[in-house]
Amino acid sequence: MGDAVMSEDLLADTATGPIRTDAARRLDMIDLLRGLVIVLMVLDHTRDYMHLGALAFDPLDLDKTTPLLFFTRWITHLCAPTFTFLAGVSIFLQAARGKTGWPLSRFLLTRGLWLVVLEISLISFGFNFAVPFFFLQIIFAMGVSMIALAALVWLPSRVILLLGIVIVAGHGLLAGVSMDSLTATGQILWRLGMQPGGLGVVPGMSVYPVIPWFGIMCLGYGLGPIFAMEDLSRRRAITLLAAGLILLFLILRLPNLYGEPQAWAWQANPGLMLMDILKVSKYPPSLDYTLITLGLAMCLLLALTHLPKLFQAPLLAFGRTPFLTYLLHIYMVHVAAILVGLAQGIPPAHFTNFLGDPSRLAADAYGLTLPAVYGVWLAILVLLYPISNAYARYRMRHRNWWLSYL
């Protein structure tokens, strides 16, 4: 996710390691959460590329899924909104440390452009192993959002918070806009900004339209002052924020009041009913989706600091090197899928242009059981950890300008 998603630099002593200041503890809290969602993201992409049913049905389809498959997919809903929210928080913390005005705007412009370029090149290729194909996901949405935020960081944080609330709460009201009423250029812009889908004559698809995710980044920036508080006050404020987000989700979702286009219905048993209530829209992110995912993310933010150090270590390594870990895992998952395919007698060519034409793999009946997918996921994390940990240590002891781009 790049250093635009990184927050403060660790205060480090090359001989003794990190200095345990409140700023360092705040950074650990953020990096632990970011590391966890990277772990979940690797799980999601491993399932996407290797599960037997990945090309056959939506794992959230209550008529076809199982509870384990449903929650394997559902828990990964936390990834994109948490990354985007924490990016906004990190940008605010940079401003709080004195990087304001043009230096901050320039940082956001260059970092945003860098993320966009990487999304349409190395990242899209890593997912698809074919060009040209533009697979515009969360990195693209975050990059464009940073460019937009570069023009807004001159405003008070409460103004940006209000803008974020308006976008997150209100963008769903535009869901009824008909694509047929737009010109060809207008349709592409609408796909990029508001509604996922194909890009017309441009090969590829927009999966994460920018405007709703920009709203989530504005929320992170606007709520950034919470993360600048001293430790006890910060924890109290995050607790209240988590409770408020989850309570508002329940108020809106249980009576099917507002904020989610897919109404839930009474089911045959409580388990199915719970899954139906939690089945909220990610593409684009509905208000209810944003409330429950960020609410749970704030709960995890508080809980992860109580983990034993043994379990914190890999999360910190991943959380402190988000972009490198993200980029590496894409290629590792795709290559692992090819190896699994070879073991099942499927030619590697069927894994190229996978996103543009998944029919070949669908016809091959390719894939692993869900327990096997979990095994591959853990193996990929084991391979990633020493690389991420080594790079995290290197970053803590060096201040080269190029490190902020990788």
Q: Which residue ranges make up each domain of the chain?
A: 12-405
Confidence band, pLDDT 50/70/90 cuts, at residue 12: very low
> Is the pLDDT assigned to residue 325 strictly greater than 70?
yes
Q: Residue range 58-80: average pLDDT?
A: 96
d(CA 23, CA 3): 17
Which residue in this structure is represented by tokens 């993201």? 41
Q: Residue range 131-154: average pLDDT?
A: 95
Query: How deeply is 151 buried, as exposed, middle or buried, from its count of CB atoms within 10 A (0-12, 13-18, 19+)?
Result: exposed
Confidence band, pLDDT 50/70/90 cuts, at residue 66: very high
> Is the pLDDT assigned to residue 108 strictly greater than 70?
yes
- The letter for the amino acid at 197 is G
* pLDDT score, position 24: 65
Q: Residue range 242-266: average pLDDT?
A: 97
> Is the pLDDT assigned to residue 268 strictly greater than 80?
yes
Is 203 in a helix, a strand, or coil? strand
Contacting residues for 247 by C-beta, under 8 A, at least 6 apart: none
Pair type for strands 202-206 and 197-199: antiparallel
More reliable by pLDDT, 12 or 32:
32
Confidence band, pLDDT 50/70/90 cuts, at residue 7: very low
Confidence band, pLDDT 50/70/90 cuts, at residue 161: very high
> Is the pLDDT assigned to residue 405 strictly greater than 60?
yes
More reliable by pLDDT, 198 or 24:
198
Confidence band, pLDDT 50/70/90 cuts, at residue 8: very low
Structure pTM?
A: 0.92
> Is the pLDDT assigned to residue 117 strictly greater than 60?
yes
The token duo for 246 is 């989850």
**What are the tens digits of pLDDT across the range 20-58?**
455 666 679 999 999 999 999 999 999 999 999 898 899
User: Mean pLDDT across the chain, nearest whole number?
Assistant: 91
**What are the tens digits of pLDDT across the range 334-366?**
999 999 999 999 999 999 998 888 888 888 889
Contacting residues for 371 by C-beta, under 8 A, at least 6 apart: none
Q: Residue range 96-113: average pLDDT?
A: 92
> Is the pLDDT assigned to residue 5 strictly greater than 80?
no
Strand partners, 13: 17
Q: Residue range 280-289: average pLDDT?
A: 97
Q: CA-CA-CA-CA torsion for 50, 51, 55, 56, nearest 10 degrees?
A: 160
Inter-residue contact 169 to 135 (CB < 8 Å): no
Q: How many residues does the chain have?
A: 406
Confidence band, pLDDT 50/70/90 cuts, at residue 402: confident
* pLDDT score, position 25: 65
* pLDDT score, position 22: 59
Among the ranges given (136-150, 167-181, 392-406), the one the predictor scored with the smallest mean pLDDT: 392-406
Strand partners, 135: 205
Confidence band, pLDDT 50/70/90 cuts, at residue 399: confident
